[in-house]
Structure 1
Amino acid sequence: MASPPASSNPLTVLAPKRKTKKKQFVQQKVEVFRASDSVLSALMWGVSHSMNDLSQVPVPVMLLPDDFRAYSKLKVNNHLFNKENLPGQFKFKEYCPQVFRNLRERFGIQEQDYQHIVTCHGSTLLPQFLAMYRITVDSEDTYLLVMRNIFSHRLHVHRKYDLKGSLVSREASFKEKEKELPTYKDVDFRNNMQKVYVSEEEKEKIMDKLNRDVEFLEHMRIMDYSLLLGIHDVERAEREEEKDMESSDDEEEDQSGPSPVSAFSSCGPSPEAIAGYMNSFKPMGLGEFDPYVDVYAIQSAVGASHREVYFIGIIDVLTQYDTKKKAAHAAKTVKHGAGAEISTVHPEQYARRFRDFITKIFA
């Protein structure tokens, strides 16, 4: 992919710095990024570097076509410096930096919080893509697409459904690790007599978002997407907390609870990331959440028979109805008959079936 002309891309003023094939490092005076995985550590380093570069570039008044073709590249040669934390050599490539910065702004994510399309400013169930990178370590490329998590960082999800609107028999995903939550399917949702207990007002808001999003996916000839539904059971969480409190009576006071830092132990955060987490933490009651953080979360209706919090978002939105899918549709139609329900259908039929099923999930 050719770089855009210098006159049309404000990021090119930094090009000499980013395209330097060899960089000299000096002793760092701050804590460096740490991660057990070399790709993850390179990503963390690259994101920090990218955010620093972007902070020095004015936000454009409007995005231009060249911004959707722009990218920045960086090659780092550490030799043996800091080898415990970063690969000796790696490459970092960021795609469309100004475009993704614009998306992050629309989704209400501040740049400092981000360190660790949609024109309706986040009022959507679609995935919120925040950035895209390529990390090259040991001559192996890894592509990473960063998106906002549908589930919460503090409210545990007790049940999880992947709903497509197809009642074709599909096994629930019990092949995952024992400690992971199984993903149930459409048939399980129906057989378990599961319902989503929200108010009529909330139901109207959800369906308004869903109809608008599905209309967009249908227009883009996308199919095979799902509604990811996570359910936090408030009463179950209360029982679990009471049990934890009873067991903690026998422990020392200094071991009464995990350190907030432990939430990041698997990826080794920077001190700034930890500070941002601490600043954003607010004491909340059971079943409470910050709607500006958990943008996919919805409370169950007041007085509902089930006290729950629902996390609802559309996922798997990258499958186009191409020649391969058309062939699969034709083959399954021949095998099962024209009147049989099959999973591979054209976008219009898929959208209609998806809408009909989701409409019926509410109590």
Structure 2
Amino acid sequence: MSVAHVDDDLDAPGEVYYAEKLLNNGDIYTGKWSDNCPNGQGKYLWSDGCMYVGDWVKGKTMGKGKFSWPSGATYEGKFKNGYMDGEGTYTGCSNDTYRGSWVINMKHGKGTRDYVNGDHYEGEWRRGQPDGQGRYQWINGNQYIGQWRNGKMNGNGTMIWASGNRYDGSWEDGFPKGNGTFRWADGSFYVGIWSKDSREQSGTYYPSGSRTGTFDWDPQDVYSNDLLGCQISPGERISAYPSQKMVTWPCEGEFLQKLPIAKTPKANNARPKRNSVDGRLSNGDGSYSWGSETDAASNSVYSEQPRESSEESRSIRTDDSDNSRGFQPHCIKIQPNKKPGTTISKGHKNYDLMLNLQLGIRHSVGRPAPATSLDLRATAFDTKEKVWTKFPTEGSKHTPPHQSCEFKWKDYCPLVFRTLRKLFKVDPADYMISICGNDALRELSSPGKSGSFFYLTNDDKYMIKTLKKAEVKVLLGMLPAYYNHVRAFENTLVTKFFGLHCVKLTGPAQKKVRFVIMGNLFCTEYAIHRRFDLKGSSHGRVTEKSESQIDSTTTLKDLDLNFIFRLQKVWFQEFCRQVDRDCDFLEQERIMDYSLLVGVHFREVSGSGEPVTTETRNSGVRTPTANADQSGDVSTPRISRADMDLLFDPSGWASIRLGINMPAKAELTVRRSDFEAQLVGEPTGQYYDVIVFFSIIDILQNYDISKKLEHAYKAFQYDPTSISAVDPKQYSKRFRDFILQVFAEDT
């Protein structure tokens, strides 16, 4: 087998060839070739029989294409960064077919599916499962039209049997649950409360005029008989996703043929180029381009040799060495992750308070209570609805003996918060163990000006925040609207509240400590490398810390932000809708001064503590692996096991929700030095693959007299639009406008 010899001049960056290349692993590529990787139309044949024919961009399947499996299964449609992404059709080896929208290998959006057993579904999908509004028709003629969640009938819907009978009403986890009506084909109907538990079932039967004789029917027959033939088909699973088959270029192998197609002209009067400190090439005219593969290898964070440069030069910089572009210098340095907070052990000033809190929670959650419906009466939200319990040190009929001081415990609206925990799918036993187990809480100092203290459970699931009396009044006042909002919108970004309590110490001090229990946004297996608290205001919104002092626990502010976060189209659209809903809710409740808490996990970080850019990672200089030799070069980038699971196990995407575990691209931005209050910097085109977390926090400040006075005072001294204390309507608009600049669609 001969190897074509190509003139060295054809190897210049930007050249496009028709190439046939045999890789050392037995794979074969034929098609357009540029910059040492597939670029344009091409065909890749894997040694195991898989094949892709279609568009390539910089070594990744991007655009229209067709992927075939040895089993005979095919996917034809859009690809993005190696993933099935966009409109496409998957046909399984058994003719199980899905036509519709895909997002990162998952059925997501609108689509139809013809199952191998003859069933058919058309409607909305989410994370690979029917979710939203849809219609499922069984081969036996039965059909369901209505709402879905996680692949099950859930919400309001109608089941129509081939016999003519039908059920209209509420569903939960694939079965009738709640209010509903069952109608027979002859016009008779049964109206009532439905449940698989016969003790909760109740209703009334109304016969039609044509029905005569004795009617013997049990509503439980619907569960045991009528729904037996209405199982959802599991469908055919995809054996291996195209993204799992992608290789990292350049790959070792030999060219069987290499013919030039197009040639990039070289300018004779080109200005001399020089390397900037971030690895780009300065063209001498103020513009920048990324260097050749050799240049990238010498400047990349993947460099084989340990670098002996200064701490500053080892950080990623976005300015040229002479700062000719006028941008403010900025560097990114990831410090080792550490667990925030101080453990509250015996001798700590708040040790007794922690014991009181744990005793009270154990009493409240462990107390027997009847099963609750999600439909609460207005009396449950009454601000006077509270329960006081005395905890003497020797114990009582309802409380255990303890070693702390005597105290009183107050539960605010216990039924409402118990129902909220049920709505948020919080298991009572896990909740109690997290807060009241043998492990001590950790105390965090307040990052804001409120003076509140924060306590974190040892498993990081729950955050406990002390509140002022005014904040308690705000929460109780907005509780009915809050409950309805979080019940209506599963993807709400507002803080999840699980309990509101008060500890009153007995004795001369009579001290009261009020606190609320919330979910911790950063309870994740991913290390949070950067935290931002974003409001959309500029006055005082900067962290007074040097770069060397910033670590993973530092909460940065608006003017510290140096990224634009780009989300997949479907997620970005959902994000925009939910931000609008949440801001409308907060505006109606006259709430202001809230912020969007954002956590960023860089998917790849080099051993020297620098996040790896997408361009560097795609250059192919080094390929990070999960099981790399730990004794190797310290500059070798590592990927955590969690990242590897997310990359190569598509089922891991099921954990993604709006604001939780969201894959995104972070585009680095820079601010011009002559615009000190510029909230969002200018994009640089430099990207990082990240996982982002975000939630709207601090929603207990209303626009009261103190905030109105603060606004009047500061408006005389500063730009009124730059301060945080503004009218809720103005605050909401400014917040939305800013957040939708910080987050954008990944195009």
The TM-score, its normalising length taken from structure 2, stands at: 0.35
Shift of 1:226: 0.5
Q: Do 2:497 and 2:518's aligned partners in 1 also have CA atoms closer than 8 Å?
A: yes
Match of 2:379 among 61, 66, 72: 66
Structure 2 match to 1:201: 570
Shift of 1:125: 0.5
**1:179 & 1:360 partners in 2: Cα distance?**
25
Query: Is 2:637 the partner of 1:323?
Result: no
Structure 1 match to 2:535: 164
**C-alpha spacing 1:224/1:113, structure 2 compared with 1 (3 Å):** same
The TM-score, its normalising length taken from structure 1, stands at: 0.68
The one-letter code matched in structure 2 to 1:346 is D
Shift of 1:136: 2.8
RMSD: 3.6
Structure 2 match to 1:350: 731
User: Number of paired residues?
Assistant: 288
Shift of 1:148: 0.7
Q: Do 1:226 and 1:314's aligned partners in 2 also have CA atoms closer than 8 Å?
A: yes
Structure 1 match to 2:422: 105
The one-letter code matched in structure 1 to 2:511 is E
The C-alpha deviation readout for 1:15-59, integer Å capped at 9, x for no partner, is: xxxxxxxxxxxxxxxxxxx96422222222222222221x44232
Bigger Rg over Cα: 2
Shift of 1:156: 1.6
Structure 2 match to 1:277: none
**C-alpha spacing 1:198/1:97, structure 2 compared with 1 (3 Å):** same
Structure 1 match to 2:580: 211
Q: Do 1:157 and 1:230's aligned partners in 2 also have CA atoms closer than 8 Å?
A: yes
The C-alpha deviation readout for 1:226-246, integer Å capped at 9, x for no partner, is: 010110112129988989984
More helix by percentage: 1
Q: Secondary structure at the match of 1:213?
A: helix
Shift of 1:327: 2.5
**2:498 & 2:629 partners in 1: Cα distance?**
38
Superposition map of 1:1-363 within 5 A: 36=346, 37-53=351-367, 55-60=368-373, 62-69=375-382, 70-79=385-394, 86-115=403-432, 116=434, 117=482, 118-120=486-488, 122-138=490-506, 139-172=510-543, 174=545, 181-189=553-561, 192=562, 194-236=563-605, 246=630, 284-286=642-644, 288=646, 296-301=659-664, 305-336=687-718, 341-363=722-744
More strand by percentage: 2
The C-alpha deviation readout for 1:159-213, integer Å capped at 9, x for no partner, is: 01111111334331649x9876211111111xx2x12132111111112111100
**2:378 & 2:414 partners in 1: Cα distance?**
13
**C-alpha spacing 1:142/1:291, structure 2 compared with 1 (3 Å):** farther
**2:726 & 2:412 partners in 1: Cα distance?**
33
**2:582 & 2:538 partners in 1: Cα distance?**
22
**1:243 & 1:330 partners in 2: Cα distance?**
60
Shift of 1:286: 4.7
**2:600 & 2:712 partners in 1: Cα distance?**
37
* Structure number with higher relative contact order (C-alpha < 8 Å, ≥ 6 residues apart): 1
**2:427 & 2:656 partners in 1: Cα distance?**
11
**C-alpha spacing 1:243/1:85, structure 2 compared with 1 (3 Å):** farther
Q: Do 1:226 and 1:315's aligned partners in 2 also have CA atoms closer than 8 Å?
A: yes
The C-alpha deviation readout for 1:255-277, integer Å capped at 9, x for no partner, is: xxxxxxxxxxxxxxxxxxxxxxx
Q: Secondary structure at the match of 2:566?
A: coil
Structure 2 match to 1:21: none
Q: Secondary structure at the match of 2:430?
A: helix
Q: Do 2:566 and 2:665's aligned partners in 1 also have CA atoms closer than 8 Å?
A: no
Task: In structure 2, list runs of 5 or more residues that go unmatched.
Answer: 1-343, 435-481, 610-624, 632-640, 647-651, 668-686
Q: Do 2:395 and 2:402's aligned partners in 1 also have CA atoms closer than 8 Å?
A: no
The one-letter code matched in structure 1 to 2:516 is L
